[in-house]
Amino acid sequence: MKTEINTKVGLIQKEIEESIELKNKVKEKLSERIIEVAQILAECIKNGGKILLCGNGGSAADAQHFAGELVVRLSSDYTRSALPAITLSSNNYVLTACANDFGFEQVFSRQIEALGKPEDVLLCISTSGNSPNLITAVKKAKEKQMKTVGLLGRDGGKLKDLSDLSIIVPSNNTPRIQETHICICHILCELIEKELFG
């Protein structure tokens, strides 16, 4: 029993240390890029635009989480107006109708066609950067003259070169990437709140 507990404690400590190590890499290498992305998102809102977010699986959940922080608020230190953010992965009726009629690759691009404006920004969250529906979404956003941002992992995949700006978490471990993505989303939201509401 003691050996089993020690093994599990060792696993927990290893997982947490990996997460800390990756966040330290992001702190050292990506702080300036995070500031750049926060500025793009804040400028979008200042100019009357909205932030459209999309991802698949856990990244869809991260997109919803980030949108929720923007629309409601991150910190109770601010009494502020709501910020315009829409998650494209949360409308089940649109997703299923579009997947059925046009294929899953079009589930986000179809919504961008309907909702996207040149003053908007598309933020795609992906651990691989290679999801076909996100690639199609970025291409549609470019047709609509929107700015595009990738919050990515691994080597950034195809979205790295397609996006106007990317934050690439330097890891091949999906859970560690996702943990770091949500940390970055919180930081972005805090920077946006400070920029817009001081």
pLDDT tens for 17-51 read 999 999 999 999 999 999 999 999 999 999 999 99
Reading the block at residue 23, the tokens are 């966040």
Q: What is the CATH number of the domain that holds 178?
A: 3.40.50.10490
User: Could you tell me the CA-to-CA distances from 110 to 19, 51, 84, 130, 139 in Å, in that order?
Assistant: 36, 16, 19, 19, 11
Q: How many domains does the chain have?
A: 1
Q: Out of 10-19, 68-77, 156-165, which region has the weakest mean confidence (pLDDT)?
A: 68-77
- As a whole number of angstroms, the distance between CA 7 and CA 17 comes to 15
Q: Cα–chain-centroid distance for residue 40?
A: 14
Give the pLDDT score at 5: 85
Give the pLDDT score at 92: 93
Q: What is the pTM of this model?
A: 0.95
Write out the residue range of the structural domain in which residue 35 sits.
2-197
pLDDT band at 153 (very low <50, low <70, confident <90, very high): very high
pLDDT band at 3 (very low <50, low <70, confident <90, very high): confident
Give the pLDDT score at 46: 98
What does the pLDDT look like over 82-134, one tens digit per residue?
A: 999 999 999 999 999 999 999 999 999 999 999 999 999 999 999 999 999 99
Give the pLDDT score at 122: 98
pLDDT band at 79 (very low <50, low <70, confident <90, very high): confident
Instruction: Output the average pLDDT for the chain.
Output: 96
Instruction: Check pLDDT > 90 for residue 198.
Output: no
